[in-house]
C-alpha cells in the first residue's frame, strides 16, 4: 500500500485487526471448558438430587364417595402407602359455591396393609354439597 507521498505502509495484520490472536483463542478455549464443567456439575447435582428423592415412600389417595346430612359430610377414601407408614389427611366439606364449610385433619396410623379404606365425618357450618379429601401427607 502506498501513500500520496509515495512511501509504503506495512500491510495490516488482519488476524490481529479482527481479534484472532493466540491470546483470544486461548481465552475462548478456557471459556468453553469452564462452561462445559459448569454444565457437567449442574447435571451431576441434578442426578444426585433426583436419585435421593426415589427413596421416599409413595403416597396415593383416592376419593371413593360421600354422604351428606344437614350438618355433616362423610367422606369415603382409600389411602395407598408403603406398609408401616403413618399418614395425615385433611378432609373438607364444600357448599354449592365451593366454599369450605367443614374441615378436619385426621391421623391415619401405620398398618401392615398397603391400601386401606377410611370413612371420616366432618361437621359443617351450613348445608354441604360434597365431602372429599383435600390432601394427604407424610407427617
pTM of the model: 0.61
Distance CA 84, CA 3 (A): 93
The position carrying cell 378432609 is 91
Average pLDDT over residues 93-121: 96
Whole-number pLDDT of residue 21:
74
CATH number of 59-137: 2.60.40
Residue-wise pLDDT tens digits, 5-57: 666 656 667 777 776 777 778 888 899 999 999 999 999 988 888 777 666 67
Per-domain residue ranges for the chain?
14-53, 59-137
pLDDT at 86: 94
* Span 81-105, pLDDT tens digits: 999 999 999 999 999 999 999 999 9
Residue 122's CB: how many other CB atoms inside 10 A? Answer: 23
Q: Which residues pair with 61 in a beta bridge?
A: 79
Q: What's the confidence (pLDDT) of residue 3?
A: 56
Could you list the beta-strand ranges (E) of the chain. Answer: 59-68, 72-81, 87-94, 100-108, 115-123, 130-137
The DSSP secondary structure of 103-115, one letter per residue, reads: EEEEEE---S-SE
Phi, psi of 73 (to 5 degrees): -130, 130
Amino acid at each position: 500500500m502506498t501513500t500520496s507521498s509515495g512511501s509504503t505502509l506495512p500491510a495490516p495484520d488482519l488476524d490481529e485487526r479482527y481479534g484472532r490472536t493466540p491470546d483470544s483463542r486461548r481465552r475462548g478455549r478456557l471459556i468453553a471448558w469452564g462452561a462445559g464443567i459448569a454444565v457437567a456439575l449442574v447435571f451431576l447435582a441434578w442426578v444426585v438430587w433426583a436419585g435421593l428423592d426415589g427413596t421416599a415412600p409413595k403416597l396415593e389417595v383416592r376419593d371413593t364417595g360421600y354422604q351428606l346430612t344437614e350438618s355433616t359430610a362423610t367422606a369415603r377414601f382409600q389411602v395407598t402407602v408403603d406398609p408401616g407408614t403413618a399418614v395425615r389427611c385433611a378432609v373438607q366439606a364444600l357448599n354449592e359455591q365451593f366454599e369450605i364449610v367443614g374441615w378436619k385433619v385426621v391421623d391415619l396410623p401405620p398398618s401392615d396393609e398397603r391400601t386401606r379404606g377410611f370413612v371420616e365425618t366432618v361437621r359443617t357450618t351450613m348445608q354441604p354439597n360434597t365431602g372429599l379429601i383435600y390432601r394427604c401427607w407424610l407427617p
